[in-house]
Structure formats: structure tokens, C-alpha cells
Amino acid sequence: MVIQTKYHGEIEIKENDIIKFPNGIPGFIEEKQFVLLPINKESPFFILQSIHTDEVGFVVVNPFLFLHDYEFLLSKVEKETLKVDTDQDVQVYTIVTLKEPFGESTANLQGPIILNGNKKIGKQVILNDSPYTT
């Protein structure tokens, strides 16, 4: 399948690479299918790209690369939505807001993107009563 992307132009993706977000992403609830694309081989950053709307692509990163003690608990409902069987199913990303200079960029620690990498299901979880900020 060929899609148009925000940062990579036109690319071909495999059907089994599509991650389904049953509830969309807050602010983009109509966007329910995404693909995770590396920016390049050396970068820890990825693009979470809508497969339907080329302008909807989020820069994301694994927060544990920068904040080793980042932690939160998924509720039973969130685990059920994501069909999580074990902790190994879970991948965590945060949406990055890029700024100039790059060192001023921020990651939304209060709203991590949780993926079940095995079942290709995703959800943005909003952490209420959390010490983390956007």
C-alpha cells in the first residue's frame, strides 16, 4: 500500500505495519490508523504517521532513553483496550514538540502513546494526578 506522508513523501507500507487506534488520538479522533516510521537509522526519533491524512504525523520518541525513571500504571480498561497480555507487549512513546534551538524541544510525558507492538493496537493515555507535564 502506498501512502503520502508528512516527512517522508510517498512511501510504501505493509498492511501488517498498520497500528489501529480504536479511539483515535485526542484532537484527531477521526485518525484511527497509523504507521511508525523511523526518521533515519541513527535517530531515536520516529514519525507516527496517519495512513489517511498526510499532514498528520507526530514526531515521537521512547521516553526511557532520556528519563530512565519515567513510570506510570496502565488501568485495567487501558490494558483491555490494548489487549495487553504481558509487559513485553507494551511499547511507550511520547509526542515531541520540536523547537528552535533543538535543546528547547519538549516531550509530552503526561500523554504517552502506548502501543501493543504484537497486536498493532495503540492508544494515547492521559496521566491524571501525575507529576509529569506536557
Average pLDDT over residues 41-69: 95
Nearest to residue 95, comparing CAs of 48, 31, 39? 48
Say whether pLDDT at 132 is over 70: no
CA angle (36, 50, 129) in 5-degree steps: 75
Full-model pTM: 0.92
Look at 31-35, 72-76, 92-96 and tell me which has the smallest mean pLDDT: 72-76
Residue 106 CB partners (closer than 8 Å, separation 6+): 96, 97, 99, 134
pLDDT at position 100 is: 85
Say whether pLDDT at 131 is over 90: no
Q: Where are the domains of the chain?
A: 2-124
Q: Which amino acid is at 61?
A: V
Band of pLDDT at residue 87, cut at 50, 70 and 90: confident
pLDDT at position 68 is: 92
The CATH number of the structural domain formed by 2-124 is: 2.30.290.10
pLDDT at position 81 is: 94
